[in-house]
Amino acid sequence: MGSVLFSPLALGPITVPNRIAVAPMCQYSADDGSATTWHIQQWMQYAMSGAGLVVIEATGVERRGRITHGCLGLYSDANEASIASVLAAARRVAIPGTRFGIQVAHAGRKASTQRPWEGGGPLQVHEDPWPIVAPSPLPFAPGYAVPQELDEEGMTRVRLAFVRAAQRAARLGFDVVELHCAHGYLLDSFLSPIANVRKDAYGGSRENRMRFPLSVAKAVRAALPVTVALGARITGTDWTETGWSPDDAAAFAAELKALGAVYACVSSGGIAPGIPIPSGLGYQVPPGAHVRAKTGIVTRSAGHIVQPQQAEDLIASGQADMVALARALLDNPRWPWHAADHLGAKITYPPQFARAAADVWKVARVARPLDFPQS
Ligand SMILES: Cc1cc2nc3c(=O)[nH]c(=O)nc-3n(C[C@H](O)[C@H](O)[C@H](O)COP(=O)(O)O)c2cc1C
């Protein structure tokens, strides 16, 4: 039997040629939300990577919804034009069949922070900070700004910003729009009782906490052409008894599915600092498998998936339908070529690289353990 990792998968209106996704990865290298030369080299590499789906980094739907000054955005015509030209370059070198998605996001109470390599903390007065919003006026951590609690009008504005960004994404020709509902950012912070202590219809019960994120998903789905797939990145667990659980994730995924979302990428953590995460190979697989078993939604697993056989087994065993790799692909964007070789699957890649394949991989197989560290 051939490799399931390299078999196609339908995501609603589109089909991806294999089950490998480039996970969204902030590059903190944009200019007032607009893509730069950095993005050209990144997206071109991922376009040639052999991954069936390339998901562009968390992209702010509002200027104030960016995490840092360097985050990508889709809130202005200039942002849209910059992304159009970078995407066109990526598509010119893409392996045929490669699909492109973009993660639309709002950082909520985790906005207005420094780039990771500048410290990652809240922006200081001399660093041009901006006012932030959240479901409740609870700072992310001591020393962080107190967010303004969103009222109905504010929520309407944010929802509209998601819709407009999604419409821009569709106009740009993205195949997938992925809603960022994870990692403690705005939509996730509505879901989790750790960040949402509202007393109105948007807080309290799980049903209430899901109300705003689901209203965003519904509005975005309605605004997208039927040819564009809607997916979501969701939190599988906050890793604490007092937080969001795998059962909550399954309930949310079921509602998203009913609204027309065609996949859930199950991630975890990030709602508050100081909660230990038991990270290790495939550490987010169990909550994802739970969501998949309970809802039947196409499930993408992420988190320390680094070995081709590990990815193959995850899918073959029915724990996930797809995998998303972040750091492994950041480190080696040609991971899928080597994975295909490893699993005996055929993959098309640019002929300019043919001699490397013939002369290096096949001969210097001794290099293989370095590419795919064993557990
Ligand atoms: C540099 C970097 C940037 C990231 N940016 C995003 C992002 O924009 N959106 C998101 O949902 N997750 C983001 N993540 C999380 C990854 O998508 C992924 O879920 C996480 O790194 C675990 O997968 P891995 O073990 O394959 O790296 C980022 C991770 C890294 C390393």
Q: Give 370's pLDDT tier (boundaries 50, 70, 90).
A: very low
Statement: residue 371 has pLDDT above 80: no
* pLDDT value for 349: 83
Amino acid at 170: A
Distance, in Å, from the CA atom of 349 to the CA atom of 339, rounded to the nearest integer, reads 13
Q: Tell me: the pLDDT tens digits for 5-26?
A: 999 999 999 999 999 999 999 9
For residues 270 and 220, the answer to whether their CB atoms sit within 8 Å is: no
The mean per-residue pLDDT over the stretch 253-264 comes to 98
Q: Tell me: the pLDDT tens digits for 225-246?
A: 999 999 999 999 999 999 999 9
Q: Tell me: the pLDDT tens digits for 25-36?
A: 999 999 999 999
Atom from ligand 1 closest to the CA of residue 182: 11
What is the radius of gyration, based on Cα positions, of the chain?
A: 20
Statement: residue 98 has pLDDT above 50: yes
Statement: residue 56 has pLDDT above 50: yes
Distance, in Å, from the CA atom of 83 to the CA atom of 274, rounded to the nearest integer, reads 36
The mean per-residue pLDDT over the stretch 353-361 comes to 72
Residue 142 burial by CB count (10 A; 0-12/13-18/19+): exposed, middle or buried?
exposed
Q: Give 270's Cβ-side CA count (13 Å radius).
A: 21
* pLDDT value for 329: 97
In the predicted model, what is the mean pLDDT of the chain?
95
Does ligand 1 lie within 6 Å of residue 26's CB atom? Answer: yes
Q: Give 361's pLDDT tier (boundaries 50, 70, 90).
A: low
For residues 213 and 187, the answer to whether their CB atoms sit within 8 Å is: yes
**C-beta contacts of 314-320 below 8 A and 24+ residues apart:** 314/282, 314/285, 315/4, 315/5, 315/19, 316/4, 318/289, 318/292, 319/285, 319/288, 319/289, 319/292, 320/285, 320/288, 320/289, 320/292
The token pair at 34 is 């607009």
- Nearest to residue 100, comparing CAs of 172, 166, 163? 172
Distance, in Å, from the CA atom of 80 to the CA atom of 198, rounded to the nearest integer, reads 35
**Is position 185 annotated as part of the catalytic site?**
yes
Distance, in Å, from the CA atom of 54 to the CA atom of 351, rounded to the nearest integer, reads 21
Give buried/exposed letters for 279-304 (b at 16+ CB in 10 A, else e). Answer: eeebbbbbbbbbbbeebebbbbbbbb
What domains sit in the chain, N to C, each tagged with a CATH number? 9-371 (3.20.20.70)
Does ligand 1 lie within 6 Å of residue 55's CB atom? Answer: no
Amino acid at 117: W
Does ligand 1 lie within 6 Å of residue 272's CB atom? Answer: no
Q: Whole-prediction pTM value?
A: 0.96
Distance, in Å, from the CA atom of 139 to the CA atom of 142, rounded to the nearest integer, reads 7
* pLDDT value for 366: 46
Atom from ligand 1 closest to the CA of residue 304: 25
Mutate which of 22, 327, 331 for ligand 1? The one with the most ligand atoms within 8 Å of its CB, which is: 327
Distance, in Å, from the CA atom of 44 to the CA atom of 126, rounded to the nearest integer, reads 35
Does ligand 1 lie within 6 Å of residue 232's CB atom? Answer: no
Statement: residue 374 has pLDDT above 60: no
Angle between helices 77-93 and 37-47 (to 10 degrees): 40
Residues 46, 75, 144, 185: which is the catalytic one?
A: 185
Q: Give 348's pLDDT tier (boundaries 50, 70, 90).
A: confident
Residue 331 burial by CB count (10 A; 0-12/13-18/19+): exposed, middle or buried?
exposed
